[in-house]
C-alpha cells in the first residue's frame, strides 16, 4: 500500500426532501450572495428550480443566476460565470444539476479567485490556491462531482476536454435526494451507472499490491451497481434502487475507493477524446471504451482482470478446473460486463455512438499530445490506443 | 434506505513516517498551544514521544503534557486534562496513542469548552456545542476513534462506562502510520481486530431494508479483516497487513459503513458492562459477547445472519440444497466466526476473561438502567440479555 492522504470534508444531506435544507446549508457554510448555476429547463419543468428559489428567499439569501450548462460543459459559460461572480460579488456557488453543472460551478469557483485565465488550471500552468465555496443539489447519479476534487471542462476554442483538481474544489455540501433522479430517462440513467462503474475500474486496475481494503470497497460498489442498475432500468421510479445508485456514485469518485495505490484512468482519457469530438454522452462513450481497454490489456497484464472476473462477476476460476487458464477466467468476466452493459441499453461500438474509424489517428494524437503513454495499469503507447479504438470499429 | 447526513471532515495522513507531519498539521488546523495527551510509557520506549516533541519544537509549538491514559479511560484524568487546558490556555489537543487516549482527548476537548461537569455529555444532560480541536497519532488499530464522532469514558465514581458523540469531536487530522502498530502484542492486535469487526456488525445487523451499498461496504471491511488479521498474528511486522487493518479500522467506525439504516449496538453495550466491571480488554469482551448475541438473535430474526454467513463467510445456502434451512446457513456462519476468533487467540467465554456468572443480574441491571430494551435488530429485554450472558458461562 502506498502512502496517501485522504480529506473529504463535504457535508452530505441525503434522502427525500433534502433539497429543502439548501438555504440553511448555504448559511452554515458562509454564503451570503449566491450564484445559482444550472443546466437547461429540466429543473424548471420538475419544479426543483422554484423550490430552490423559495428556500433562498425564505432564508433571505440573494442570488444571481446562470443557466445553460450543457453536457460536456464548455469554457464559454465558465468565463461568463466568472464575470458574473465578480460583477455581482458572489461569495458562494450553488450548482443544481448533474456532473456537468457541478464541474462548471467548480471551474467558476476557482476562476473567480484567480487573476489569470481559468484554463491555466486545466493546462497545469497554474495550481488552484483559492476557490469560492460550492454547494450542490444533485439531479443525476453519474459523475461523482458532488463529492470529488475534480472538474472536467471542454475548451470550445481548442476542442480539448480535460480536467483539473484540488481539495479546494470539494463541495462544502451536497444534497442528494434520489427522488430527483427518478425522472431521468433510461439511456441517461444507464450512462450514469456506467460512469460510476468505470470510476471504480480506473481505481481498481492497479499494479500496487496489498491494498485489499481498497479492492474490497471497489468490489462492493461494483456489486451494488450490478444489482441496482437493472432495477432502475426496469422501474425508473424505484426509489430504493435510485438511492443505492446515488450514494454509490458519490463513493465511486470521492476517492475512498482509490487510496493507497497508483490509479489508471486510461479509459476515461481515451473516452474524453470521443465526447470532445462527437459530443457523445460520457457514460456511453465509456461503455464502448472500457471493455475494449480490458480486452486489450488482458493480453499484457491479466492479473487484476482475473480478480475482477472472480470477485465481481462470480466467474469460477477456470485454471482450477485443470483445463482452463486465468486468461479465460478474465475473458469470461469481461464478457459478463459487456453483456451487462448491453442489457442496460449501452453501446459497445463506434457505430452506435456515431464515431468514425477515420478519426482514430486524430483522436490518438490529441490524447497523447506531449505524452509518451497513457494510463498506468498498462502504459499504452499511440499504437496501443489505436488498437483499442480499432477494436470497437469492427463488425 | 433511511434519510441520513454524513460529514467526516478529518484529514488523514496515512503511511510510513506520516507522524513527521504532526507539527505542520497542528499549524494547519490552527493549534498554537497544545495539550499532548498519551497513555503509559510505550510511546516513550518506542521513540515516538521524542519524535513528536521534536516536531512540535521544530514548528515552534508550545505544549503541556498529560500522560497516564489507561485502557477503558477514566473520568479522573479527563477532569485533570480539562483543568490543565484551562490553566495553560491550550487551544488544541494532540492524542498520541490508541482509542482510549483519543476518547480521553475528545472528552477533554468538549469539557474544556463547557461550564458544567463534562460527564453531563455522557448522561445526555447536555449536548456538546463546542469543543477544542483534536488531532491524533494512532498507535493501535481498533477503536476507530481517529475518524469517529464518539468517545467512551468510564466514570470512576459510579463505575458507569458509556459514550457521547458529536460531529464536533471528529479529529481535525489523524496520522495513521501502520509501522507504529507493528510492536503491538498479538493479544492486543487480535482484540483490536475484533473491535473493528464488531463495529461493522453493529451497523450490519439492521432491519432497514434496501441498503445494499452499505451492506456491501460492511462486507468489504469484514472480508478484509478475515484476510489480514491472521497474517499479522503470524507476522506482527507485516506492514501491508497492518496497513490494511489500520485503514479498515477507520472505515469501520467513521460511519461510512453505517449510513441509511437503524443500527444495533447491543453487543457493544452488553460488553461495556463487562469492561467496566472487570476491566477486560474491550475487543476481548466483544469476542465473547458478539457471537453469543448472534446465536441468541438467530432464533428470533435470522435474515441478516443468513446474509452474513453467505456473503462474509462464504457459507453455501443450505436451504437451496433441499435438505437444509436458512437457520442452518446462519449457524454455519456464526461457527466460522467463532472459529476465526479462536484462531486469532480471542476468548469466547466468561471464564476466559475472568467474568463471573454470579454478576449477571448486576451487569444486566446496570445495562438496562432506565431502559426497557437494548439494541434494535432484536429489542432485547432483561431476560434476553441474561440469556446471552448465561450462554457464555456454560461448559
pLDDT over threshold 80, residue B394 = no
Mean pLDDT, residues A264-278? 96
Dump pLDDT digits (tens) for A123-177. 999 999 999 999 999 999 999 999 999 999 999 999 898 999 999 999 999 999 9
Helix axes B239-251, A212-234, angle to 10 degrees: 40
Helix axes A212-234, A186-204, angle to 10 degrees: 170
Look at residue A395 in the predicted model and tell me its pLDDT: 57
Look at residue B370 in the predicted model and tell me its pLDDT: 86
- Answer for the pair A76, A116: CB distance below 8 angstroms, yes or no: no
- State the distance between the two ends of chain A, measured CA to CA, in whole angstroms: 42
Look at residue B395 in the predicted model and tell me its pLDDT: 57
Question: How many residue pairs from chains A and B have C-beta atoms closer than 8 A?
Answer: 121
pLDDT over threshold 60, residue B275 = yes
- ipTM of the prediction: 0.97
> What percentage of chain B reaches a pLDDT higher than 90?
96
**What is the nearest CA distance from A344 to chain B, expressed in angstroms?**
19
pLDDT over threshold 80, residue B43 = yes
Dump pLDDT digits (tens) for A301-338. 999 999 999 999 999 998 888 889 999 999 999 999 99
Mean pLDDT, residues B284-290? 98
Look at residue B40 in the predicted model and tell me its pLDDT: 87
pLDDT over threshold 70, residue A212 = yes
Mean pLDDT, residues A12-26? 98
Mean pLDDT for all residues in chain B: 97
| Cα→Cα distances B212→A168, A225, B260, Å | 31, 9, 10
- In whole angstroms, give the CA distance from residue B370 to residue B378: 18
Mean pLDDT, residues A281-296? 98
| Cβ separation A260–B8 shorter than 8 A | no
Q: How many CB atoms lie within 10 A of CB B299?
A: 10
| Cβ separation A9–B4 shorter than 8 A | no
pLDDT band, very low/low/confident/very high, at B107 (cuts 50, 70, 90) = very high
Look at residue A216 in the predicted model and tell me its pLDDT: 98
Instruction: Say which residues have a Cβ less than 8 Å from residue B57's Cβ, sequence separation at least 6.
Output: none
Q: By C-alpha distance, which of A40, A79, A34 is closest to A57?
A: A34
- Answer for the pair B162, B215: CB distance below 8 angstroms, yes or no: no
Mutate to test the interface with A, among B179, B197, B213 (most CBs of A within 10 A): B213
Look at residue A88 in the predicted model and tell me its pLDDT: 96
Instruction: Give the HSE-up count for residue B36: Cα atoms under 13 Å, Cβ half-sphere.
Output: 20
Nearest CA in chain B to A243: B1
- In whole angstroms, give the CA distance from residue B376 to residue B262: 7
- State the distance between the two ends of chain B, measured CA to CA, in whole angstroms: 42
Mean pLDDT, residues B326-332? 96
Interface of A with B in 245-284 (CB under 8 A): 247-248, 251, 256, 259-260
pLDDT over threshold 70, residue B144 = yes
| Cβ separation A247–B224 shorter than 8 A | no
Dump pLDDT digits (tens) for B193-239. 999 999 999 999 999 999 999 999 999 999 999 999 999 999 999 99
Mean pLDDT, residues B330-351? 98
pLDDT over threshold 90, residue B141 = yes
Instruction: Report the residue from A210, A241, A256 with minimal CB separation from B240.
Output: A210
Whether residue A230 lies within 8 A of chain B, CB to CB, comes out as no
Mean pLDDT, residues B74-86? 98
Instruction: Say which residues have a Cβ less than 8 Å from residue A13's Cβ, sequence separation at least 6.
Output: A21, A25, A173, A174, A175, A176, B5
| Cβ separation A5–B13 shorter than 8 A | yes
- In whole angstroms, give the CA distance from residue A342 to residue A339: 5
Dump pLDDT digits (tens) for B168-178. 999 999 999 99
Mean pLDDT, residues A341-351? 98
Amino acid at each position: 500500500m502506498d502512502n496517501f492522504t485522504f480529506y473529504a470534508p463535504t457535508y452530505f444531506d441525503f434522502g427525500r426532501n433534502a433539497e429543502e435544507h439548501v438555504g440553511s446549508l448555504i448559511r452554515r457554510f458562509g454564503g451570503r450572495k449566491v450564484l445559482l448555476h444550472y443546466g437547461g429547463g429540466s429543473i424548471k419543468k420538475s419544479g426543483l428550480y422554484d423550490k430552490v428559489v423559495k428556500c433562498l428567499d425564505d432564508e433571505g439569501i440573494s442570488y444571481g443566476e446562470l443557466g445553460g450548462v450543457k453536457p460536456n460543459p464548455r469554457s464559454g459559460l465558465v468565463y461568463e460565470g466568472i464575470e458574473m461572480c465578480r460583477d455581482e460579488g458572489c461569495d458562494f456557488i450553488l450548482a443544481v444539476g448533474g456532473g456537468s453543472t457541478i464541474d462548471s460551478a467548480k471551474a467558476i469557483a476557482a476562476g473567480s479567485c484567480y487573476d489569470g485565465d481559468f484554463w491555466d488550471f486545466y493546462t497545469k500552468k497554474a495550481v488552484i490556491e483559492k476557490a469560492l465555496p460550492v454547494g450542490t443539489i444533485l439531479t443525476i447519479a453519474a459523475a461523482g462531482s458532488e463529492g470529488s476534487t475534480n472538474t472536467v471542462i471542454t475548451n470550445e476554442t481548442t476542442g480539448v476536454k480535460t480536467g483539473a483538481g484540488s481539495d479546494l474544489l470539494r463541495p462544502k455540501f451536497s444534497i442528494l435526494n434520489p427522488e430527483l433522479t427518478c425522472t431521468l430517462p433510461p439511456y441517461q440513467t444507464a450512462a450514469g451507472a456506467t460512469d460510476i462503474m468505470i470510476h471504480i475500474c480506473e481505481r481498481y486496475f492497479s499494479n500496487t499490491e496489498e491494498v485489499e481494503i481498497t479492492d474490497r470497497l471497489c468490489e462492493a460498489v461494483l456489486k451494488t451497481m450490478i444489482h441496482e442498475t437493472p432495477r432502475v432500468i426496469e422501474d425508473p421510479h424505484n426509489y430504493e434502487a435510485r438511492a443505492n445508485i446515488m450514494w454509490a456514485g458519490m463513493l465511486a469518485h470521492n476517492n475512498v475507493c482509490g487510496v493507497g495505490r497508483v490509479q489508471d484512468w486510461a479509459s476515461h482519457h481515451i473516452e474524453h477524446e470521443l465526447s470532445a469530438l462527437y459530443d457523445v454522452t460520457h457514460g456511453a462513450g465509456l461503455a464502448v471504451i472500457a471493455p475494449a481497454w480490458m480486452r486489450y490489456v488482458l493480453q499484457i497484464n491479466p492479473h487484476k482482470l482475473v480478480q475482477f472476473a472472480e470477485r465481481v462477476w462470480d466467474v469460477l476460476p477456470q485454471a482450477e478446473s485443470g483445463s482452463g487458464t486465468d486468461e479465460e477466467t478474465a475473458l469470461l468476466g469481461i464478457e459478463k460486463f459487456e453483456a451487462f452493459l448491453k442489457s442496460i441499453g449501452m453501446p459497445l461500438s463506434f457505430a452506435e455512438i456515431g464515431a468514425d474509424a477515420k478519426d482514430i489517428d486524430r483522436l490518438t494524437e490529441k490524447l497523447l499530445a506531449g505524452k509518451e503513454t497513457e494510463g498506468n495499469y498498462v502504459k499504452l503507447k499511440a499504437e496501443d490506443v489505436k488498437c483499442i479504438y480499432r477494436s470497437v470499429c469492427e463488425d
